[in-house]
Amino acid sequence: MTDPFQAYLSLTGYTRFDIQAVLFDMDGVLYNSMPAHCKSWFQTMTEFGYHCTYEEFFIHEGRTGGSTINLLTQREFGRDATEEEIKVIYARKTELFTQYNQGETIPFAREMLHQVKSNGLDTILVTGSGQHSLLGKLEENFPGIFVREKMVTAFDVKNGKPNPEPYLKGLTRGGRLETNQAVVVENAPMGVQSASDAGIFCIAINTGPIDEQVLYDAGADIVLPSMEDLFVKWESILASLKNASRKI
């Protein structure tokens, strides 16, 4: 199997990594919120007369709410969603999500974040979410880890994932980092594509029902089955990042 670290350096032309920060996605990476998201999306869209499946919302994960609504409106009705439709539908989805979401964190997310901090690396949040209920809980669930100046949310970008803008903005907020100075931890195909197109090394943790090949196809450099697995392997991954150098 190809060494993913060497493959990244060959592709990007960098000689080495110079890791300063880890960029974390939120839903499905820090919070086990995807089942509640998918349930509330499925119920909302069905109420508004759209044909859809519960599972497809795992695939759309990472898009902004407006983008998801627009995509389904194009598919179902062959036109763009109006501003009013987006507002009304997203409000209903948010209402249901707040009702269904238990705020459960992903096992080993806390341990992983503390490990990254103790490695002397910065922790940056890059999420497509605009859910105040979750954003407000970050400090409560992960105290001392994230600061608002180093977060990118739905409110901070024009183009959500899979566009590279959120992760590029994450690099900027991390102190104008170069792409070889950070690593992304993602769980969704759209998020992986965003990170990969931004040119950042991407570790996917497969916490949902998606086949791992879908994450590799989206551009993941490494795919692991859980946050626990990443936590266990992190020191070894970090050592590989520090020791990798491009063979010329």
If phi > 0 it is left, if psi is from -120 to 50 it is alpha, else beta; for residue 120 that is: left
Give the binding range for Ca ion (CB under 5 A) out of 20-28, 134-142, 145-153, 163-171: 20-28
Give the binding range for Ca ion (CB under 5 A) out of 118-126, 182-190, 211-219, 226-234: 182-190
In DSSP terms, 205 is beta-bridged to 224
Binding mask 112-151 for Ca ion (x = CB under 5 A): ----------------------------------------
Q: How many residues does the chain have?
A: 248
* The two three-digit tokens of residue 79, written as one number: 């036109």
Closest CA to 160 of 79, 68, 97: 68
CB of 237 to Ca ion, least distance (A): 20
CB of 29 to Ca ion, least distance (A): 6
Cβ-Cβ contacts under 8 Å for 176 (sequence gap 6 or more): none
CA 194 to chain centre: 9
Element (H, E) at 21: strand 21-24
Closest residue to Ca ion: CB criterion: 28
Binding mask 29-68 for Ca ion (x = CB under 5 A): ----------------------------------------
Identify which of residues 187 and 194 has a Cβ nearer to Ca ion in the complex: 187
* Cβ proximity of 126 and 28 under 8 Å: no
User: Cis bond leading into 164, ω under 30°?
Assistant: no
Q: In the chain, helix, strand, coil percent, each to 5?
A: 50, 10, 35
Identify which of residues 86 and 227 has a Cβ nearer to Ca ion in the complex: 227
Q: Is 28 in the site for Ca ion (CB under 5 A)?
A: yes
CB of 35 to Ca ion, least distance (A): 13
* Cβ proximity of 131 and 103 under 8 Å: no
Among 19, 25, 40, 90, binds Ca ion (CB under 5 A): 25
CB of 61 to Ca ion, least distance (A): 5
Among 4, 24, 27, 81, binds Ca ion (CB under 5 A): 27
Q: Is 188 in the site for Ca ion (CB under 5 A)?
A: yes
> Where does this chain bind Ca ion (CB under 5 A)?
25, 27-28, 187-188
